[in-house]
């Protein structure tokens, strides 16, 4: 009879240990996933900021080029007019 109680007690202890270990393992896994997610979000924020800066730079260059095109178009019209007059 004592062996039966010892077996039952050992079995219950093993099951309880497994359940607690499983819960702890799941919590650690969730913590790792959250840490990785936070790192990914921070990385994407950096990428977005860099792209935003690059877009602003390219928009500035595009405005300069549009002004230059307007200047050259005006100059071209003046030159064509001069050539027609001759």
Query: How far, in Å, CA of 51 to CA of 48, rounded?
Result: 5
Average pLDDT over residues 48-71: 98
Q: What percent of the chain has pLDDT over 70?
A: 93
Hey, what are 12's tokens? 């219950």
Average pLDDT over residues 58-68: 98
Write out the H or E segment, with its range, that includes residue 3.
helix 2-85
Average pLDDT over residues 26-48: 91
Query: How far, in Å, CA of 56 to CA of 67, rounded?
Result: 17
Least confident of 27-31, 39-43, 76-80: 27-31
């Amino acid at each position: 009879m004592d062996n039966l109680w010892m077996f039952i007690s050992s079995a219950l202890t093993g099951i309880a240990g497994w359940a607690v270990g499983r819960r702890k393992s799941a919590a650690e896994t969730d913590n790792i996933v959250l840490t990785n997610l936070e790192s990914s979000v921070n990385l994407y924020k950096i990428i977005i900021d860099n792209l935003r800066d690059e877009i602003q730079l390219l928009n500035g260059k595009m405005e300069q080029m549009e002004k230059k095109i307007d200047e050259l178009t005006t100059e071209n019209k003046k030159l064509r007019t001069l050539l027609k007059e001759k």
